[in-house]
Structure 1
Amino acid sequence: MRQRSLVALALALLAVTTTGCTVERHWGGGAHAGGGGKAKVGLVTKTDTNPYFVELRAAAKAAADANGADFSALAGQFDGDNDGQVRAIENLMQQGATTILITPSSSTGVLDAIDRARKSGVLVIALDTATEPATAVDATYATDNFEAGRRQGAYVKAALGGQAPKFFMVDGTAGSTVDTQRHGGFLKGIGLTDASPEIKGKVAANGDQSLAQQGVENLLQRTADINSVYTMNEPMGRGTYAALQARGLVGKVVMGSIDGGCEGVHNVKDGQYAATVMQFPKKMAEQGVLAAVEYAKTGKKPSGFIDTGSAVITDKPVPGVESKDTAWGLENCWGTK
């Protein structure tokens, strides 16, 4: 009898020890609910190579370090990798994250995983890209991408100086929220619709410089009678510039873009495109982390859409469009200066 009791006690002690080791591996505990604890912030970006998301990740880590929060970052393997982002959310939940910040590749593709996280007590905040519906997350800190597109369209329209626009649209990932919003915003700003004959061609280049160059080269084989181009982001702006340069169209075409990376501001300064619309990933990351810290301390959650702003950057200002020059842009841009 005494021997059986000793064996039972040993097994009980082993169970306690094993459980304790598991908890330590999960950031010191599995309690997700906010209030009275240390913030454990997980970040999930679309990729870990795009300079924009590199900047966002660096800013989030710096803010977490400055505020005494634990930080972990994961990403999809490519833009549109919903399964990779779902796995990242599940991994962060297992690690005991109290808040997950995410830039969803698809506004609908990760909703089930987000719902599971929120039901377990994790605060979920979207950065850069809103979910559909917006209420799928607790709050969103992002650029108003429709407004950013509208600013680009308004600039291009004014820069044409009364000429009727004849333009290509170089889009991002078909069906993505950011792409849809920027595309629609541009058309609003230039005063046209998807059915307008002024659009001489469209290509989806998935945010990639090489794909944009190839796509625009193909469009130019059909017609070179254009005076303007919409590009969804700056890498595609650079690819489009290469295609236009090869056809001798540089200086004859007004091109705008969106991002506000330091390389993009240099592109504007060097004349590759007329203007870019700057967004502020550092502000998104910092505000998201501060909300995570507040949630861990008090249980208070942010809510709704918080616009982190945008600004037209150009050295060729036009009437009716508020803008900043490239000197200001280089002081406020993200990425390597």
Structure 2
Amino acid sequence: MRTSTRATRALVCAVAASTALGLAGCNRSSDSDTGGGGGGGEAQVGVALITKDSTNPFFVAMQEGGKADAAKNNVKLTIASGKQEGDDQGQITAIEDAIARGDKGILITPMSTGVNAAIKKAREAGLFVIALDTPPDPVDTVDITFATDNRDAGKRIGQWAAGQVAGKPATIALIDLFSDKIVSVDYNRDQGFLEGMGIDVKDGKKNGDEAKTGKYTAAGGGDYTIVCNEAGNGEEAGGRSAMEKCLAKNPDINVVYTINEPTAVGANAALKAAGKTATIVSVDGGCAGVASVKSGVIGATAQQYPLKMATMGMEAIAKIARGGEKPKTTEGLDFFDTGVALVTDKKVEGVESITSDEGSKICWGK
């Protein structure tokens, strides 16, 4: 999916308007919290928001956005999460708790296919389940997904990266999310990045099976070498460790794809410690990540909108519980697309983008 400059500017304005309430109260939350009251006299609706963890700024912003909007919709919101990325059991317990409470619906960023059975149990119990950010596999595990088009996000940073090397050899490090779990957000961003650079992928749902050397075709094309596919677990420390492993294999890496911005910061620390520089690209668009674009640590990032995901999801469940219509997927997709914009201060011809100053006006987190 590509947008015109006018459409990109419209997205910025729309997101700024839709997230203003959430941005006003964006502080860290505990693992469990509730909100409710108000709502014009209609019966209160119980909703569970279950994120992967409560420390990643992306999920913190999602939690804060949900809390800020709960009273407006007369929702009793319960927030829960896994202890960290990969904690399937933590999410399963939270799902079972939502069923036991008699909640009307669940908003969840599913950890992996390991939580699918629990989601099925919730739906069988009559709860409406919406996935946020991470479409489950298969996608019909939930009623609907509200998410960034992660494939598109990956393609945008791949197109931009190709424009930066512009015909020169690209020596690439890929720092993914997991090595022991298959998650759609992981392979969609990784494979989208490669597609954006014009590198052939084999199985679009599998990281690491593409040819390790060949030609990239975007931005005039050139030779490429993929040095590594390492897992950073979405964390700064993991990003640094993964980058160190990649540099040990080839110290001449000049392009680094990262699953998210904490990973990118860690990768940059490893490069700096080794006395190396590289073009780093990422996905998320949090305020810290946008600041890293402005400072030059990250060359470009694809910005997504967790506040919008959480508030739209909660509003949808409240509406359904009161007899309203169920949400529909975006035309041509199997989920509802909540939008994405490329943030960079080094514009590449033919790749739509906004500046870090523009991105900072609609970013999330602290």
Computing the radius of gyration over CA atoms, which structure comes out larger, 1 or 2? 1
Q: Which moved more, 1:198-207 or 1:263-272?
A: 198-207
The alpha-carbon deviation at position 255 of structure 1 amounts to: 1.3
CA–CA distance in structure 2, aligned partners of residues 176 and 115 of structure 1: 18
% same residue: 42
State which of 137, 141, 150 in structure 2 corresponds to 1:132: 137
1:287 aligns with 2:317: no
Name the residue aligned to 1:185.
Answer: 192
1:60 aligns with 2:85: no
Residue type of the partner of 1:39?
A: V
Name the residue aligned to 2:88.
Answer: 82
Structure 1: segments with no counterpart, 5+ residues: 1-26, 28-35
Name the residue aligned to 1:18.
Answer: none
CA–CA distance in structure 2, aligned partners of residues 213 and 80 of structure 1: 19
Name the residue aligned to 2:156.
Answer: 151
With normalisation by structure 2, the TM-score equals 0.79
State which of 68, 71, 77 in structure 2 corresponds to 1:71: 77
CA–CA distance in structure 2, aligned partners of residues 202 and 131 of structure 1: 22
Q: 1:178-327 maps to which residues of 2 (within 5 A)?
A: 178-192=185-199, 193=201, 194-197=210-213, 198-250=225-277, 253-304=278-329, 305-327=335-357
CA–CA distance in structure 1, aligned partners of residues 254 and 115 of structure 2: 40
Change (3 A) 1:140 1:97: same
CA–CA distance in structure 2, aligned partners of residues 203 and 63 of structure 1: 38
1:269-326 C-alpha deviation (Å, 9 max, x unpaired): 0011211111000110111011011111115322441011111101111101100001
Q: Which moved more, 1:94-103 or 1:170-179?
A: 170-179
Residue type of the partner of 1:122?
A: L
> 1:168, 1:226 within 8 Å by CA — same for their partners in 2?
yes
CA–CA distance in structure 1, aligned partners of residues 153 and 115 of structure 2: 25
Q: 1:153-172 maps to which residues of 2 (within 5 A)?
A: 153-172=158-177
Structure 2: segments with no counterpart, 5+ residues: 1-34, 36-41, 202-209, 214-224, 330-334
With normalisation by structure 1, the TM-score equals 0.86
Q: Once superposed, what is the RMSD of the aligned Cα atoms?
A: 1.5
Residue type of the partner of 2:211?
A: A
Name the residue aligned to 1:330.
Answer: 360
CA–CA distance in structure 2, aligned partners of residues 299 and 80 of structure 1: 35
CA–CA distance in structure 1, aligned partners of residues 154 and 227 of structure 2: 19
